[in-house]
Amino acid sequence: MNAAAAYAPLNFTLTGRTALVTGAARGIGHAIAVALGHCGARVALADLDPQAAERAAELLRAQGIEAIGVGVDVAEEQQVQAMVTQVERLFGGVDILVNNAGIVSTAPLLELTTAEWNRVMAIDLNSVFFCVKAVLPGMMDRRAGRIINIASVAGKRGGGLLGNSCYAAAKGAVIALTKGLAREAGPFDITVNAVSPALTDTEMTSVLAPQARAQVLAQMPLGRAGTPRDIAAAVCFLASAEAGFVTGEIMDVDGGFMRD
């Protein structure tokens, strides 16, 4: 490395980049969209309810961020393709894809219907396949891109603590997919990583019984739940040019939950 490069300040800005965040109307996805926007990216906020997505985008525009809302059911491949086409038309090619949309299931396996199993797999896992399939060709043509999947400690541990083996199976598969895709996309200078949160305060976890919440918190050395902003900060790092040598990584952002 020459002296100029060695002393150049680190640059985490995303100016000129287009980011697509799924499940961005609220919670972790919304915080990620805001944070990427504050780093300079144009942001497409995708969510199931088009009006909620548009309201969320309006909140970003009020902060001076270039943003659009897009309605999509990420479990539907054709809708995902249409979403990417719309984003590309308005904002140009997707440089940063954040696969965040997800649902949780807490039913013990024997109480789970096949329909619920299929719905969790469709939204938490198939969606990642559909979104990647829609953006990857453009990233490969441009020989650049960042794909960041939101996994879960449940996908690493196998769930169980909260009786959610189905959710854990979907997130475990997202982790494996992240590693496999990193190998496939690496030769095109595209990185593929995951952020793996533990208990984070959002609508998803607001339904947790106080006892279950306390049980999880007791295993977190930092002794508090995560905030959506905690997760967004890790995503911004992985989306930046400075993370160009990080791929196939499953980054725990979990208050120490996964420490041995």
Ligand X SMILES: NC(=O)C1=CN([C@@H]2O[C@H](COP(=O)(O)OP(=O)(O)OC[C@H]3O[C@@H](n4cnc5c(N)ncnc54)[C@H](O)[C@@H]3O)[C@@H](O)[C@H]2O)C=CC1
Ligand Y SMILES: CC(C)c1ccc(C(=O)O)c(O)c1O
Give the residues lining the site for ligand Y (CB under 6 A): 152-154, 157, 159-162, 164, 168, 198-199, 205, 216
- Smallest gap from residue 27 Cβ to ligand Y (A): 12
Residue 164, binding choice from ligand Y, ligand X, none, Cβ under 5 to 8 Å by partner class = ligand Y
- Smallest gap from residue 158 Cβ to ligand X (A): 14
Distance CA 161, CA 190 (A): 35
Distance CA 235, CA 251 (A): 10
Residues 6+ apart with CB under 8 A from 221: 255, 256, 259
Cβ-based neighbour number of residue 148 at 10 Å:
28
Place of tokens 């650049």: 144
172 neighbors 153 (Cβ within 8 angstroms): no
Reported residue count of the chain is: 260
By the rule CB under 6 A, 216 interacts with ligand X? no
By the rule CB under 6 A, 102 interacts with ligand X? yes
- Apex CA 83: angle with CA 73 and CA 185, to 5°? 100
C-beta of 22 vs 196, nearer to ligand Y: 196
Place of tokens 């809708």: 79
By the rule CB under 6 A, 202 interacts with ligand X? yes
Q: Which residues between 71 and 90 bind ligand X (CB under 6 A)?
A: 72-75
Place of tokens 């895709």: 181
7 tagged catalytic: no
- Smallest gap from residue 245 Cβ to ligand X (A): 25
Among 14, 18, 20, 23, binds ligand X (CB under 6 A): 23
* 3-state SS class at 75: coil
C-beta of 182 vs 220, nearer to ligand X: 220
- Smallest gap from residue 239 Cβ to ligand Y (A): 22
C-beta of 104 vs 134, nearer to ligand X: 104
Question: Pick the catalytic residue: 167, 192, 195, 196?
Answer: 167
- Smallest gap from residue 140 Cβ to ligand X (A): 25
x/- string (CB under 6 A) for ligand X, residues 120-149?
Answer: ---x--------------------------
By the rule CB under 6 A, 37 interacts with ligand X? no
* 3-state SS class at 42: strand
117 neighbors 166 (Cβ within 8 angstroms): yes
Angstrom distances, CA of residue 249 to CA of 151, 238, 244: 11, 10, 12
Residues marked active site are found at 167
User: Which residues here bind ligand X, judged by CB under 6 A?
Assistant: 22-23, 25-29, 47-48, 72-75, 100-104, 123, 150, 152, 197, 199-200, 202-205
